[in-house]
Amino acid sequence: MSYDVTIFGIHLTLNPIAFTLPIGGGWDIYWYGIIIALGFMLAIIYGMKNATRFNVDTDKMLDVIIVTTPVSILCARTYYVIFDGVKLNSIGDFFGFGTSNGFSGIAIYGAVIGAFACGAIMCKIKKIKIFDMFDLAATAFLIGQGIGRWGNFMNQEAYGTFTGSNWFGMQSTRTITEMGEGLVHPCFLYESIWCIAGFFVLNHFSKKRHFSGEITLLYCIWYGFERAIIENLRTDSLFLWGPIRVSVVVSVILCVGAAFTLVIIRKKQKTAICDLDYTAMFEDEYADLDNNNKEIQEEQTDE
């Protein structure tokens, strides 16, 4: 199985299967899995190199990752099954046992929710400051997400509606089969670029954090804003009810909620700083008054 792809005028032939292991009747290893694993590995490397800067112990960080990773994958699958309305006749259907597609059908928001929920519990157990760990993870997430989206390209999925252009967009044998002739939005590319750019932005701000959890809030704003827009272009969205897309709802709540929280915290910080400055000035004024009173008393004594 391969796809003939044209993207921005460049012609390619893609095979989603990287190689096949001689196990049983043959075990196909997909580029999707390899690319996701690459993004995950680079995210961990970033975490290990920068853990100290986030006040996180490297060994404890790895303990959290070891437990959180499989939980996140299960949550990603669960999220997809719930909102896609997949009918499961057995536990084997959940994991894709006995099918040619294997473990397919996952959602990134399910993985993110699972990662933060399980991560919080593990941080409590390992006695790590939760929001320091979250800030480190949020920055690293964008590496994995930015690279991982190219797995969608190899599978020719996560694309959007027609662009209406004669040169801007992507077309493949799969998009033609499912949508007809015409160039479609390469949504995977939009998100990849946005996430990689977001990594550099968050990494920059992480070097001068104003409080623990600030980078996590910035991640929610950055990713939520993009996903709320791009999701409306996609043709494979999960729907909540009617035309309302699940990821759009989650993204808006995430972005607006994080932005509101960030503004409130920063305002409180500025107020606290102003209060400290005022107190210092107030004390100086009283100190001056005390000195003046002492001088007057000394003069009266001399007289």
| Averaged pLDDT for residues 243-257 | 96
Q: Which residues neighbour 56 within 8 Å (Cβ) at sequence distance 6 or greater?
A: 128, 129, 132, 133, 136
Cα distances (angstroms) measured from residue 163 to each of 158, 170, 236, 243, 277: 15, 9, 16, 20, 56
Over residues 133-169, the pLDDT tens digits come to 999 999 999 999 999 999 999 999 999 999 999 999 9
User: Left, alpha or beta for 197 (phi > 0: left; psi -120 to 50: alpha)?
Assistant: alpha
Name the strand (E) or helix (H) holding 143: helix 130-155
Band the pLDDT of 273: cuts 50, 70, 90: confident
Any idea where the domains of the chain sit in the sequence? 3-56+129-272
Band the pLDDT of 106: cuts 50, 70, 90: confident
User: Left, alpha or beta for 57 (phi > 0: left; psi -120 to 50: alpha)?
Assistant: beta
Separation CA 191–CA 179 (nearest Å): 21
pTM of the model: 0.86
Band the pLDDT of 221: cuts 50, 70, 90: very high
What confidence score (pLDDT) does residue 201 get? 98
CB 57, CB 128: distance < 8 Å: yes
Band the pLDDT of 293: cuts 50, 70, 90: low
CA–chain centroid gap for 71, Å, is: 16
Band the pLDDT of 241: cuts 50, 70, 90: confident
Which residues in 241-257 are b (16+ Cβ under 10 Å) and which e?
eeeebbbbebbeebbee
**Token match 């995210």: residue?**
43
User: Left, alpha or beta for 96 (phi > 0: left; psi -120 to 50: alpha)?
Assistant: left
Amino acid at 164: G
